[in-house]
Amino acid sequence: MHGSSVPIRFAERENPCLRRGNPTQALRPRLVREPMANRQEHTMLTLAAGPLDTSIVDIVVAIVVFAIFFTLLRVLVWPKVIGGLDARYAKIRSEIDAAEKARHEAESAQKKFELKLREAQEEATRTIAEAQATARKVADELRAKNDAELSDMKARALADIQSARESAVRELNEHAVALAATMAGKILRREVGASDQSRLVAESLAELARARN
């Protein structure tokens, strides 16, 4: 009743029918419009408050779901992921260490090979130099020996030639002396003795030597 008295008094000022003794007819449309306005205001308040309440609930639910999801990830999934990453890191690190070790071993082997090769080259150079020196020494010795042998052979040959020539001259002189003695003996009607032949040979050789000088 109190809620309708205000609209009625307000309507008396606005509606002349109230002053003419017909308040029911004058109030019917106004009273109908008044609840409709209240319902629209209530609906507007409900609509204004509804989305805010819904968004807060959604945010709280989302936070709870995210917390649960993050907890599950941290408890169940994250250790496996971390373990897999650690295992992969350890594997990669092991492969890198193995590669570094292999590289160092290869470098060390290459240095050793280069050192051995350099030593072999130096040894080969020394061996070649020693072989060349030995060959020159042997050649010099052979040359000197050959020269000495040639000199000896030449000297022996000359001596043999000289001896053969002297022997031939001596034989020739002996034959000549013998022939001359024979002829002289025949001429003198006597034989020349051996001592005479020797003396004649010696004299003939002396004469031949003086003639040759």
For the chain, give the secondary structure using H, E and C.
CHHHHHHHHHHHHHCHHHHHCCHHHHHHHHHHHHHHHHHHHHHHHHHHHHHHHHHHHHHHHHHHHHHHHHHHHHHHHHHHHHHHHHHHHHHHHHHHHHHHHHHHHHHHHHHHHHHHHHHHHHHHHHHHHHHHHHHHHHHHHHHHHHHHHHHHHHHHHHHHHHHHHHHHHHHHHHHHHHHHHHHHHHHHCCCCCHHHHHHHHHHHHHHHHHHHC
Per residue in 104-138, pLDDT (tens digit) is 999 999 999 999 999 999 999 999 999 999 999 98
Per residue in 134-165, pLDDT (tens digit) is 999 988 988 888 888 888 888 888 888 888 88
pLDDT, mean over the chain: 73
Domain extent, residue 84, equals 2-212
Domain count, the chain: 1
- pTM score of the predicted model: 0.35
